[in-house]
Amino acid sequence: MSDASAAAPTMIDPFGRTVNYLRVSVTDRCDFRCTYCMAENMTFLPKKDLLTLEELDRMCTAFVDKGVRKIRLTGGEPLVRKNIMQLVRQIGRHIDAGRMDELTLTTNGSQLTRFASELYECGVRRINVSIDTLDPDKFRKITRWGELGKVLEGVKAAQQAGLGIKINAVALKGFNDTEIPEMLKWAHGQGMDMTVIETMPMGEIDEDRTDQYLPLSLLRANLERQFTLEDIPFNTGGPARYVKVAETGGKLGFITPMTHNFCESCNRVRLTCTGTLYMCLGQNDAADLRAPLRASEGNELLSDAIDEAIGRKPKGHDFIIDRTTRQPAVARHMSVTGG
C-alpha cells in the first residue's frame, strides 16, 4: 500500500480548511434556563424527532471515518439525555482504537457528581463547565433554575475523577463584568483554565441583548489594569485565543464571535440532535443527514451527504448586536445547535 493511500482521510472545505472537529448536540433540553440562551418557557423538540443514541453513534462514526479527530458533546445539557453514557462509551472506543484524539463535553455541571467518574472511564479527559458567576443569588437569577452549590460540587467531583476542567463564562455587561477578575483568580487557584465568551445573537430570548453585550476588547483592557496578559499560541482546537496571566500562572481564553470572528481558522461543523448539520454557527445553511442515515443500513448515502455539506461550508459569519438589529442573527437557540 502506498503512503498516499494509507494516509488518513480528511475533509477539506472550499476555503482549504481541514474540518476535523465535530460538535454534537445530543439534546436541546436543559435543566437550566440561562437568560442569554433560552426563553423561560421553551418549547422543546418532540422526542420522536431526535436521533436515537445508536443513530448518533453511527453519525459520529461516519465523521470519524472521514477524518474527524475531536468530538465535543453539547446540548442543551448533554448529561440530561437519558442513557447518555451509552453514547459516550461508544464514541470513546474510537480513542482506544487510535482513530480519534479527543472526546470532550460542555456541561453546566449540574450532573457531574453523578457522571464524572464514568466520563473518565469512557475516555473523556477534559470538560468545559459553564459558570457565569460565583454569587449564588446571581447564579440563580442568570440560570433561573440552577443551584451554584450543586455545580461546584460537580466541579470538585470531576477534578477528583481526574478530569481537566476549563470554566466558560459568558461576559454580560452590568451582570458579571466586574466579577470576572475574582472568577479568574478562583479558577486558576483551583488549577482550572478559564474562557470568557461574548454573548451571541441566537434565538429569541426574554432579554434585550444590546443591554447584555460586552465587547471582550473592553473586558481585556479592564483586566490589564490588574493582570499582566501575554498572548500565547496555545490552541485546544476550538475558537478561543489564549493569554497567559502572569500573576496566576493560568491561561485565559477569549472567544470573540462579535468583535473579532475566528472564521479564518474554523475547523468545525455542528450536528444537532435531529441530524441537521450546520456548517457555520452563525449561518442558517444546513444539511439534513437524518434522511440519508435512515434511508440505508450502510453509510454510503450518509457519506455522500456529508461530502456535499462540507463542500458548501461558508467562509464565515457576520453577527451584529445593536439597537437597530433587534432580531437575532439566526432564529434557532444556541441549545439547538450546541454551544
pLDDT, tens digit, 9 for 90 and up, residues 176-203? 999 999 999 999 999 999 999 988 654 4
DSSP string, 137-191: HHHHHHHSS--HHHHHHHHHHHHHTT-EEEEEEEEBTTTTTTTHHHHHHHHHHTT
- pLDDT of 20 strictly over 90: yes
What is the average pLDDT score of the chain?
87
pLDDT, tens digit, 9 for 90 and up, residues 215-225? 899 999 999 99
Supply the pLDDT for residue 114: 98
What total of structural domains would you count in the chain? 1
Binding residues for GTP are 23, 72, 106, 166, 268-270
Of 146-155, 233-242, 272-281, the one with minimum mean pLDDT is: 233-242
Here the CATH number for the domain that contains residue 77 is 3.20.20.70
DSSP, res 312: T
What 3-state DSSP class applies to 294?
A: helix
Mean per-residue pLDDT, 46-52: 90
Mean per-residue pLDDT, 230-253: 92
Which of these, 252, 274, 247, lies nearest to 332 by C-alpha position?
274
Mean per-residue pLDDT, 317-325: 46
DSSP, res 221: H
Binding residues for S-adenosyl-L-methionine are 36, 76, 130, 200
- pLDDT of 5 strictly over 50: no
CA distance 239 to 315: 15
Strands 268-271 and 276-278: antiparallel
Structural domain span for residue 245: 3-337
Sheet holding 126-130, edge to edge: 229-232, 241-245, 251-255, 193-198, 164-171, 126-130, 102-107, 70-74, 21-25, 268-271, 276-278, 286-288
Mean per-residue pLDDT, 307-318: 86
pLDDT, tens digit, 9 for 90 and up, residues 65-124? 999 999 999 999 999 999 999 999 999 999 999 999 999 999 999 999 999 999 999 999
Binding residues are 23, 30, 34, 36-37, 72, 76, 106, 130, 166, 200, 263, 266, 268-270, 280
